[in-house]
A and B are shown apart, each in its own frame.
Chain A
Amino acid sequence: MMKRILSILAIMTAVASISCSRQKELHVFIWADYMNNDVITAFEKNENCRVVMDFFDSNEALYAKVKAGATGYDLYICSSYMVNIMNDQKMLQSIDLWKLKNIGNIDPEYLKISLDPAMSHSVPYMMSFAGIAYNTEKVKNFVPTWGMLDRSDLKGRITLLNDLRETIGAALKFNGCNYNSLNPAELDKARQTVLRWKKNIAKFDVDEAKRGLEAGEFFLIHTYNGDALQIISQNPKIAFAVPREGTSISVDDMVIPTSAVNADLAYRFIDHLLDPEVCSKNMEYISYLAPNLAAQKIMPKDFMQNPAVLPSKEILKKSDILKDLGADNATYSKIWDEIKSAE
């Protein structure tokens, strides 16, 4: 018995070492199903290397793992706010922009609101944003504003995201403030706004709301654009709009950890992903927008004119990227508890 186990182990190590020595490997740590397979295969062919993907289920899990010392990854693709935290902890390499010949494709308008406007340690991959998805048959006189949440004719048919930053943030934006506001007066006003909305809505929810909107149980839900696109592909009666006051934007960035073994290959992979053709293939596959102007130009018109894909420039300017607030997160949690426990 022991012999058999030992031989299995020996085979395992042998297989692992053969696959290591044959070709260069690039190890990417990313969300599952977040990249077009053809894009990866093309890179493997060009560079004669192997791309190995590993997955995490939340930004926090990724952080806990790599902070504890897990190494071997050459590239992470994770949310901006986590990139911010990791950069503060000196866990990321600074990016040498000269090594990326496609870097000029990045939208300068986007960079103005980015958490890393100089791209000193991160390059944006994809962006998504929150907004309002609604049933065009049931919602009359739709106006793209957060004020829709006050409409009494939709009472009990609305849902808000069960996410403290998104929902308090939407109220802040409705009152003309920033999503990352720490001003007590602004926050108190936002709390009252959400409390008023709470009386008008059915519930705070993320996933059940999507099913409910598709099935006709809810008429108007606060949701993310990627999810809205998927609901629309199932049910053409649904439409999506970004409130004119602005919204929250979340971005996934590509970063190279200090522990990367194959940093050069990671640079070439980032450059590959910034290539207009490649980037547009990725956008088509995951239905998210990349802040890549050259790629946006060659995307099909109906993709780019879809408000669920691309908010207008004016709205983009008024929108904010959610920041990690560190110790001040507690302020938001406290407000959220008050909202959740209120009658």
Chain B
Amino acid sequence: MRRSRIPFYLLVGMLVFLYLPLIIVIVNSFNMSRYGGQWGGFTLKWYSRLFSDRTIWYALGNSLLIALTSTVTSMVLGTTAAIALYRFKTRLQSAHRLFIHLPLVMPDILVGISLLLFFVALKVRLGLFTIYLAHVTFCISYVAMVVLGRLQDFNYAVIEAAMDLGASWPAAIRKVMIPMITPGIMAGGLLAFTLSIDDFVITFFVSGPGSATLPLYIYSMIRHGSPMVINALTGIFIVFTFTVVTISKKLLEEK
């Protein structure tokens, strides 16, 4: 029997759908024409404008700082929440489960405005710190959900075995459970990082003077800026990401 070709066509279609936009962005970042409607000749001017624009780099720094710190924090808190939800089935925990789900279903604009009103009422100075708090708020939920999914397949007998062999409960969690669910925690962390680094709506409301992040800057450029500079930045990002992924894969293979 001949193998069907449909899966192959599907694969090609999916690859084109996923990667063609990225290729267009990279090609356009070398396009002289500002609108990218026509090929206006090869140029590096968008890259030189990108490197001379101090605000973009400042905003990128803010974005990375917030994404890293809020990811680490929400990985810790989210994992703790997931373990609690997994281990204890009290009524208090069902309330806890509701709180973890809420940020996932609440519209961003509501979260943004209510956090802003909350911070203003408490007289907290708006800035990187308030953005960090807001991002942790929604990242915890995502990390907790992913880790909880991982825990569904977790065999609790392993913990019981560890405790039979003399481990205390905290030690069993630390030495047995955590290492086993690490991939889940990592996946949750990556998800949190991507959500944090491109969040716009919530960030806009809770940001303060001097804490513009990259998405805020990019959205605001719609009116007066040149989108081609952003294409250039995207190009650098894509190349950077692919390099990092390739290198880390190579390193893992050598092990």
Contact = CB atoms under 8 A, between A and B. Distances in A.
A44 B68 CA distance: 31
B250 interface: no
Contacts of B216: 54-55, 57
Contacts of A64: 113, 205
Contact of A54 (B73, B207, B221, B226): B207
B54 A37 contact: yes
Interface of A: 1-2, 4-5, 8-9, 12-13, 16, 25, 27, 31-34, 37, 52-57, 61, 64-65, 68-73, 210-212, 214-215, 226, 230-231, 233-234, 286
Given A16-B128, A25-B210, A65 B225 contact: no
Contacts of B129: 9, 12-13, 16
B208 A70 contact: yes
B205 A56 contact: no
Interface of B: 33-38, 40, 52-55, 65, 69, 72-73, 76, 113, 116-117, 120, 125-129, 132, 204-205, 207-212, 216-226
A56 B116 contact: no
Contact of A1 (B76, B204, B219): B76
Given A12-B69, A214-B37, A234-B33, A72 B126 contact: yes
A231 B205 CA distance: 34
12 contacts: A2-B76, A8-B72, A12-B69, A12-B132, A13-B129, A16-B129, A32-B224, A33-B220, A34-B224, A57-B223, A70-B126, A70-B208
Given A55-B219, A215-B37, A234-B35, 15 more contacts: A5-B73, A5-B76, A9-B69, A12-B129, A16-B129, A25-B209, A33-B225, A33-B226, A37-B54, A54-B210, A55-B220, A71-B120, A72-B125, A72-B126, A214-B33
Contacts of B204: 56-57, 61, 65
> Which secondary structure dominates chain B's binding surface?
helix
Q: Which of A27, A72, A230 has the most CB of B within 10 A?
A: A72
Nearest to A208: B37
Given A12-B65, A27-B209, A69 B117 contact: yes
Contacts, number: 118
A136 B69 CA distance: 55
Contact of A53 (B52, B55, B113, B223): B55
Nearest to A287: B224
> Which secondary structure dominates chain A's binding surface?
helix
B60 to A, nearest CB: 14
Contact of A4 (B72, B210, B211): B72
A283 B197 CA distance: 34
B224 A31 contact: yes
Contacts of A71: 120, 126
A22 to B, nearest CB: 13
B172 to A, nearest CB: 18
Contact of A65 (B65, B127, B205, B217): B205
Nearest to A1: B76
Nearest to A57: B219
A9 B127 CA distance: 13
Contacts of B224: 31-34, 226, 286
Contact of B35 (A55, A56, A69, A210): A210
A5 B69 contact: yes
Contacts of A25: 209-210
